[in-house]
Amino acid sequence: MSDLARSPKQIGSIIRRARKKRGLSQMDLSERTGLRQGTISLIETGNPAARIETLLAILAALDLDFRIGAREAGTSSADDLEDLLR
């Protein structure tokens, strides 16, 4: 699985899809990560205040990697900033 995410909402959607693909409930993921179920819910709905450590714990529990790469030509960082400020 390789998805591109440029906003908290997109990250949340990817996490939700990966969780459901593995047949896990939010509570199951909560137990695997030691996080509250409410925290999982907030992240999946795109809460922009999520800590990087929290995201990394969730990704690890779902056997996903966090990768950083160069942006492709023609993408606008201004659009991404707008998404973050919404």
Number of domain units in the chain: 1
Interhelix angle 8-21/37-44, nearest 10 degrees: 120
pTM over 0.85: no
User: How much is the average pLDDT of 5-30?
Assistant: 96
CA dist 40 and 50 (Å) reads: 10
Question: What confidence score (pLDDT) does residue 71 get?
Answer: 84
- 31 is a domain residue: yes
Compute the distance between CA of residue 53 and CA of residue 75 in angstroms, rounded to an integer: 27
Per residue in 29-76, pLDDT (tens digit) is 999 999 999 999 999 999 999 999 999 999 999 999 998 888 887 666
Q: Has residue 84 got a pLDDT over 80?
A: no
| Domain extent for 22 | 8-68+75-85
CATH of the domain at 15: 1.10.260.40
Contact 11, 43 (CB under 8 A): yes
Beta strands in the chain (DSSP E): none
Count the alpha carbons within 13 Å of 1 in the hemisphere toward its beta carbon: 15
Radius of gyration over alpha carbons of the chain, in Å?
13
User: Is residue 2 over pLDDT 90?
Assistant: no
Q: Give the count of beta carbons closer than 10 Å to the beta carbon of residue 19.
A: 20
